[in-house]
Structure 1
Amino acid sequence: MTDRIIHHMCRADEWDAARPAGSYPGSSQDAQDGFIHFSTAGQVVESAAKHRAGQDGLLLLTVDADRLGAALRWEPSRGGQLFPHLYGPLPVDAVLRVDPLPLGPDGRHAFPAGFPFTLQDLVP
């Protein structure tokens, strides 16, 4: 499985703490599961609704999967779909874009304009 662009949702305070350290260790749920959860563009909207429903103050991290090496594994999860899981910290320099993920008037997360992003949108 190879989607070069993958996404992770986290709280803004978690990301703010990770940036100066150079790596993001994941959320408390990630730590409990033993890996950092990611989704492809086609999976992340459903993941937000299922796992982050009603949570405000989130960010959407857009990540270059190619920069994660062998620590990134594609494993079956919801409905047998392959999801990207990172077994180790997320290097800050692998993150191509960070966007707020506010709740919309319908209570669902409002994804940024232009989502899903193409590689051409992200890499100069």
Structure 2
Amino acid sequence: MAGDLTDPRTPILHIAERTQWEASRDSGRPYEVSTRGRTLAEEGFIHASRDEDQVRGVRRAFYADLDDLVLLVIDPAGLDVRHEPVGDDVFPHIYGPIPPEAVIEVRALPENR
């Protein structure tokens, strides 16, 4: 899945700790975890990836020692998504919480131990 930055309907991806995602989903509350150890309130946005290549890099850099992770596939419609430079690349950032209904698929990460 290669994210097309010109098409606002292209799903975006977010690595989540399974327990945090399931707590949000089960309560019906929006998901508000930005990245490992940081909330939306602390970071100002939720980190995401436009494709699985970016997911692999983020996984290696920030989540390599965790194994109970899931990949949220998110429909960006209705969300404030901004594609912003990070180093030499561009990543989608979600400015606001993710309603559970915006998550169209939840995948296990194949790199989980």
Query: If the TM-score is normalised by the length of the shorter chain, which range does it land in?
Result: 0.7 to 0.9
Residues 64-86 of structure 1, C-alpha deviation per residue, up to 9 Å, x if partnerless?
12342xx211111132x111111
**Which is worse superposed, 39-48 or 27-36?**
27-36
What pairs up with 1:1-124 in 2 under 5 angstroms?
Answer: 1-2=5-6, 4-19=10-25, 20-27=27-34, 28-31=37-40, 32-41=42-51, 42-68=53-79, 71-79=80-88, 81-101=89-109, 109=111
Task: Label 1:74 to 1:12 Cα distance change in 2 as closer, same or farther (>3 A).
Answer: same
Shift in Å at residue 2 of structure 1?
Answer: 3.3
**Which is worse superposed, 85-94 or 19-28?**
19-28
Bigger radius of gyration: 1
C-alpha separation in 1, matches of 2:81 and 2:60: 24
Point out the structure with the larger helix share: 1
Q: 5+ residue gaps in structure 1?
A: 103-108, 111-124
- The TM-score, its normalising length taken from structure 2, stands at 0.78
State the secondary structure of the residue aligned to 2:74: strand
Supply the RMSD in Å over aligned alpha carbons. Answer: 1.8
Shift in Å at residue 54 of structure 1?
Answer: 1.8
Query: How many residue pairs end up in the alignment?
Result: 101
- The TM-score, its normalising length taken from structure 1, stands at 0.72
% same residue: 38
C-alpha separation in 2, matches of 1:18 and 1:35: 17
C-alpha separation in 2, matches of 1:67 and 1:94: 9
Shift in Å at residue 44 of structure 1?
Answer: 1.1
State the secondary structure of the residue aligned to 1:24: coil
Shift in Å at residue 96 of structure 1?
Answer: 1.0
